[in-house]
Each structure stands twice: as structure tokens, then as C-alpha cells.
Amino acid sequence: MISKELVAASTIPIVLSLLKEKDNYGYQLIKDVQRISGGSLQWKEGSLYPVLLKLEKKGLISSYIKQEDGRNRKYYSLNKSGKTTLSELKNEWTNINQVMITLWNPQTRLT
């Protein structure tokens, strides 16, 4: 199980990455994360919606309503600025990941 702090820190890059693949709605985003992480990444499901709201207010994503199963379903899509932010976040996380790999892999450190 991943710690609460790390889950919180990774939420935005994960949401933006998933929305880069395709437009999606809250519930499905949660299920996709569970599937991809094999259940190790557990979001408090209700907390995703305020995060989506924040991202929308920042202009990183935008939303539209679609009628599905007789209900109004709010879909999100990634904006241009969201793509830029995502690539920045990707660089940051890749750098961190690289540092960790180097630190924890003795063979890499020797080279």
C-alpha cells in the first residue's frame, strides 16, 4: 500500500496522464487507477472530485456533460495547458525516479 502523502502528490500527474489517453469521468478515472496500480493505489474516492474541480479552475482540464444511463455524466478532457503541465510533471517525476533508481541500485551507482 502506498503512503497517503505519496498518493496525494501523485494524484494530479495521474489524472492528467489518464485524461491524455482519452476523455473520462470521475468514477471511471478511479477504476482505471485501481486497475493500473493493481489496487496498491487507493484513493479516497470522494476526494477526486475537488481535485478535478481545482484542475478545471486552473484551466488544465475542461468538462462537458453527456447523458449516459439516463444520468448526467461529467466528462473531462485535457487542455493545451494541461498537456504542458503534464510534460513538466513527467520530467520532475522521471528525475526523482532516476535519483531513486541510482541510489537504490548499487550496480547503477558504480557505472
- Polymer length in residues for the chain: 111
Residue 44 makes contact with other proteins by CB under 8 A: yes
Write the DSSP assignment of 13-74 as a string of letters: HHHHHHHHHS-EEHHHHHHHHHHHHTT-S---GGGHHHHHHHHHHTTSEEEEEEEETTEEEE
Note whether 40 binds other proteins by CB under 8 A: no
Cα 83 to Cα 87: distance, rounded to the nearest angstrom: 6
**Residue among 18, 23, 25, 77 that touches other proteins (CB under 8 A):** 25
Using alpha carbons only, give the angle 86, 73, 65 rounded to the nearest 5 degrees: 75
Segment contacting other proteins by CB under 8 A, of 6-14, 43-51, 89-97, 98-106: 43-51
Tell me which stretch binds other proteins (CB under 8 A): 2-10, 12-20, 65-73, 101-109.
Answer: 65-73
Q: Answer yes or no whether residue 64 interacts with other proteins by CB under 8 A.
A: no
Task: Count interface residues toward other proteins (CB under 8 A).
Answer: 19
* Residue ranges in contact with other proteins by CB under 8 A: 25-27, 44-47, 49-51, 53-54, 57, 65, 69, 71-74
